C-alpha cells in the first residue's frame, strides 16, 4: 500500500468511491475492509440490522485510555449494550431538540476562534475545543 504513504486513507476512499461506486472492498494486509457510502444501505445496516454489524476493526491507539471500551472500540456484547443504552439519546426527535443548542455552541466557538486568530499568535486549540464538547 505505497499510496498510503502519500495520501490519507480518507482521500483514497473518496477516489475509490468515485471509481468503484458506493459499495466496494479492499484489503489491509489480510484484513478485508468493506466500504459502504450508500445512505440507504447504511440505514439498513446501522438501524434495522445493527445487531449484525457490531464488530469494528481495531485501531492502533497510542494512548492506553483510548483502547478502553468506548463505543468506537467496543466489540460484541459490550458494543450492543452501549448502543442499546445511548440509542434513545440520539433519536431524530432528540437530535432536533438539541440542534439549536449545538448551533449556538458552534457560533460561540467560531467567534472565540476568530477573536483569537486576530492576535496572530499561536494558541492551544485544545483549551477551546474541550469547552465545547459534550
Please name the residue ranges forming H helices in the chain. 9-20, 39-43, 76-86, 92-117, 125-131
Tens digits of pLDDT across the chain (134 residues)? 454 456 788 888 999 999 999 999 999 888 888 899 998 898 888 778 877 776 666 666 556 666 666 666 777 788 778 878 888 887 888 888 888 988 998 898 889 889 888 888 888 888 878 887 76
User: In this structure, are residues 110 and 129 in contact, taking their beta carbons and an 8 Å threshold?
Assistant: no
Secondary structure (3-state) at 8 = coil
Task: Provide the Cα torsion 81, 85, 87, 93; round to 10°.
Answer: 170
Does the pTM of the predicted model rise above 0.75? no
Question: CB of 89 within 8 A of CB of 95?
Answer: no
Amino acid at each position: 500500500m505505497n499510496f498510503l504513504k502519500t495520501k490519507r486513507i480518507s482521500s483514497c476512499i473518496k477516489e475509490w468511491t468515485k471509481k468503484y461506486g458506493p459499495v466496494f472492498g479492499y484489503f489491509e494486509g489480510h484484513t478485508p475492509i468493506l466500504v459502504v457510502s450508500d445512505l440507504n444501505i447504511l440505514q439498513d445496516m446501522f438501524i434495522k440490522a445493527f445487531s449484525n454489524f457490531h464488530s469494528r476493526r481495531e485501531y492502533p491507539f497510542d494512548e492506553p485510555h483510548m483502547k478502553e471500551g468506548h463505543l468506537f472500540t467496543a466489540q460484541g456484547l459490550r458494543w450492543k449494550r452501549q448502543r442499546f443504552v445511548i440509542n434513545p439519546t440520539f433519536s431524530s426527535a432528540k437530535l432536533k431538540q438539541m440542534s439549536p443548542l449545538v448551533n449556538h455552541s458552534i457560533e460561540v466557538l467560531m467567534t472565540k476562534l476568530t477573536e483569537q486568530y486576530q492576535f496572530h499568535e499561536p494558541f492551544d486549540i485544545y483549551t477551546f475545543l474541550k469547552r465545547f464538547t459534550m
